[in-house]
């Protein structure tokens, strides 16, 4: 059994915010994909705090005719994603240069439920932002698991509420991750538990078919 494994250390990039306050937000929803024709697709994942959404698109060609687009096979030629922002994470955008993994089963269904061939999902990171979805980098999108994750600078609170908001938001994220370490260790905690590992080879492991 062959294996496609991401070698990019996303944690280094995502932690390069200096003193900026970082936010993490999660969704249990899969991404709805629309076939636009000519090898282009749009997608949308809702379910983030306050109704926030990630929308985007990608293009590619199924070169080996296996019913799947996989960036691990060089089949994805374009990508972008936009998070519209909420009280946890500011709006941000990612593009093809930020993409480190994208797999989509060409079955007309959502993105985030495929576990055959290369494991389905999206992984993209900017210098201070990131987006993961699906069983490849996070978990199966079955309506029960947190399977979509966004990370980026948190909105600046009003000065009078800064201390209270900081304590509440950090405590909430630590409780959700099941870890008592400081905020700077949240990503490492994610790699040890149920949450996505933003660092190194744990981020996106796509299993290829036998013999590959």
pLDDT digits 0-9 by tens, 91-123: 999 999 999 999 999 999 999 999 888 899 999
> Over the stretch 22-33, which tens digit does the pLDDT of each residue have?
789 999 999 999
Contact 34, 55 (CB under 8 A): no
CA 7, chain centre distance (Å): 16
Which region among 44-48, 71-75, 146-150, 202-206 has the lowest average model confidence (pLDDT)? 202-206
| 8-state DSSP, 137 | T
Run of H or E including 162: helix 162-177
Closest CA to 152 of 20, 33, 59, 49: 20
Query: Over 60: is that where the pLDDT of 184 sits?
Result: no
β-pair partners for 33 = 43
For the chain, percent of residues with pLDDT exceeding 70: 64
Contact 153, 128 (CB under 8 A): yes
Backbone angles phi and psi of 173, in degrees to 5 = -65, -40
* E strands, the chain, in order: 3-5, 22-27, 32-37, 40-45, 54-60, 68-70, 76-83, 92-95, 99-105, 121-125, 130-133, 148-153, 205-207
For the chain, percent of residues with pLDDT exceeding 90: 52
Q: What is the pTM of this model?
A: 0.73
Query: Over 70: is that where the pLDDT of 12 sits?
Result: no
Q: What share of the chain is helix, strand, coil (3-state, %, to 5)?
A: 20, 35, 45
Query: Over 70: is that where the pLDDT of 20 sits?
Result: no
Query: Over 50: is that where the pLDDT of 200 sits?
Result: no
Query: Over 80: is that where the pLDDT of 183 sits?
Result: no
């Amino acid at each position: 059994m062959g294996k496609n494994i991401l070698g990019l250390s996303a944690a280094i990039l995502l932690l390069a915010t200096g003193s900026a306050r970082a936010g993490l937000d999660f969704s249990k929803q899969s991404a709805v994909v629309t076939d636009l024709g000519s090898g282009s697709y749009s997608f949308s994942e809702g379910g983030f705090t306050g109704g926030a959404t990630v929308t985007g698109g990608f293009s590619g060609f199924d070169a080996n005719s296996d019913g799947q687009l996989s960036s691990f096979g060089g089949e994805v030629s374009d990508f972008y994603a936009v998070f519209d922002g909420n009280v946890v994470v500011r709006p941000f955008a990612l593009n093809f240069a930020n993409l480190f993994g994208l797999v989509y089963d060409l079955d007309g269904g959502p993105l985030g439920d495929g576990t055959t061939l290369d494991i389905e999902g999206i992984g993209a990171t900017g210098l201070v932002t990131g987006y993961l979805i699906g069983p490849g980098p996070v978990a199966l999108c079955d309506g029960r698991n947190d399977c979509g994750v966004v990370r980026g600078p948190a909105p600046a609170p009003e000065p009078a509420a800064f201390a209270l908001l900081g304590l509440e938001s950090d405590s909430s994220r630590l409780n959700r991750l099941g870890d008592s370490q400081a905020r700077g260790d949240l990503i490492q905690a994610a790699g040890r538990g149920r949450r996505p590992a933003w660092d190194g080879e744990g981020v996106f492991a796509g299993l290829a078919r036998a013999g590959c």
